[in-house]
Amino acid sequence: MKIACLQFNPIQENTYVVWDDTAQCAVIDAGNSNERENAALRNFFEEHGLRPAVAVNTHGHFDHTLGVEWLRTTYGIPFALSGKDRFLLENASVSGQIFGVKIGAMPAAPDIDLDTVPEIHFGDTALQVIATPGHTPGHVSLYEPQSKSLFTGDTLFRESIGRTDLPGGDYSWIMRSILEKILPLGDEVRIYPGHGPESTIGHETIYNPFVVEVLGGEVNCKN
């Protein structure tokens, strides 16, 4: 599986294009927000001979969904998101105003509810859907075991974690997601977060202060 990261919109969100030898691709967290960014994504597809098959989201915050409707209408592909995050699509315009970001067309609801499927398929590739709530109620991470690639959205960043002070966020949930769902995948797994640079699970167990303080017993994330 091949992975490319394109950074979009004023929030500097990471949009990932992932593809295999079939030339079918999935777009993870499409954050393209204007015609220039739409063109950049379209040109990437064309330059690499790719055929979009699905737009799949780790969660429903507006900076990760700004380009979804453009993908759906331009390429006729389905949109996959946890149904628990549908309320974030409905409130996207209000959230965008708070951050000073203009919000265009948004899908009314996902075509595929990630709460109901174990995997998302494109070409010969399957992305495992792992529920990792905390940043949002319906947040998921997407894992491709052969390449040991994990798309963590806004759950786990390089040496940080996602915010839990936004509507639907919960610190105990996000830390349990990291400790119980992400860390057991193994130190060698490479993480691709929704913002910022790549990392590995091994790096985070040593250098991520939020993870270290819980592993070391300094903070009890379950209370």
Query: Euclidean distance between the first and final Cα of the chain, in Å?
Result: 40
Domains, the chain: 2-215 (3.60.15.10)
pTM of the model: 0.96
* Helix residue ranges per DSSP H, 53-179: 62-65, 68-75, 86-90, 92-98, 171-176
Contacts of 167 (CB under 8 A, 6+ apart): 88, 91
Q: How many CB atoms lie within 10 A of CB 218?
A: 9
Query: Look-up: residue for tokens 């167990």?
Result: 205
Strand 13-19 with 2-8, pairing? antiparallel
Would you give per-residue pLDDT tens digits along the chain (223 residues)?
999 999 999 999 999 999 999 999 999 999 999 999 999 999 999 999 999 999 999 999 999 999 999 999 999 999 999 999 999 999 887 787 778 888 888 999 999 999 999 999 999 999 999 999 999 999 999 999 999 999 999 999 999 999 999 889 999 999 999 999 999 999 999 999 999 999 999 999 999 999 999 887 777 777 6
Q: In which element (H, E) is residue 39 found?
A: helix 35-47
Q: How many helices (H) and strands (E) does the chain have?
A: 8, 14
Residues in Cβ contact with 88 at an 8 Å cutoff, skipping those fewer than 6 apart: 59, 60, 61, 62, 65, 95, 136, 167, 168
Q: Which two tokens stand for residue 149?
A: 């690639």
Number of residues in the chain? 223
